[in-house]
């Protein structure tokens, strides 16, 4: 579980955070406080994976295309989860 910015307890599910984007809220299981991501940190965390998936569009070799898409998708899920901090809103 991830730490909630309201109660500082691990009340946010990682799955919820992984699909969270600015304007959507994750609610804490312990205090029911709602938190969200800041657009800027979310966007910068999404950028590396997005660039890899865009690069895959221009690759002719299908193996390389699949590898780029796979890594890109993993980064799009993992980077915001690890690096985009939650904020009270
Ligand atoms: Zn909480």
Tell me phi and psi for residue 48, to 5 degrees: -60, -45
CA of 78 to the centre of ligand 1 (A): 22
Confidence of residue 46 (pLDDT cuts 50, 70, 90): very high
Helix (H, G, I), strand (E, B) or coil at 10: strand
Where do runs of H (alpha helix) occur along 1-89?
Answer: 14-18, 39-57, 62-83
Tell me the per-residue pLDDT of 15-42, one tens digit each, with 9 for 90 and over: 999 889 899 999 999 999 999 999 999 9
pLDDT of residue 51: 97
State how far the Cα of 42 lies from the Cα of 70, in Å rounded to an integer: 20
Cβ–Cβ contacts within 10 Å for residue 60, how many?
A: 6
Q: How many angstroms separate the alpha carbon of residue 87 from the centre of ligand 1?
A: 11
Per-residue model confidence (pLDDT) at position 89: 77
Is the whole-model pTM more than 0.85?
no
> What are the boundaries of each domain within the chain?
2-88
Residue 34's pLDDT is what?
96
> The tokens of 43 are what?
């966007």
């Amino acid at each position: 579980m991830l730490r909630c910015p309201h109660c500082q307890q691990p009340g946010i599910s990682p799955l919820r955070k992984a699909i969270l984007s600015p304007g959507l809220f994750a609610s804490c299981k312990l205090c029911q406080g709602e938190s969200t991501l800041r657009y800027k940190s979310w966007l910068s965390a999404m950028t590396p994976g997005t660039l890899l998936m865009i690069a895959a569009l221009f690759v002719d070799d299908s193996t390389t295309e699949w590898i780029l898409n796979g890594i890109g998708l993993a980064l799009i899920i993992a980077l915001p989860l690890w690096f985009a901090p939650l904020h009270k809103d």
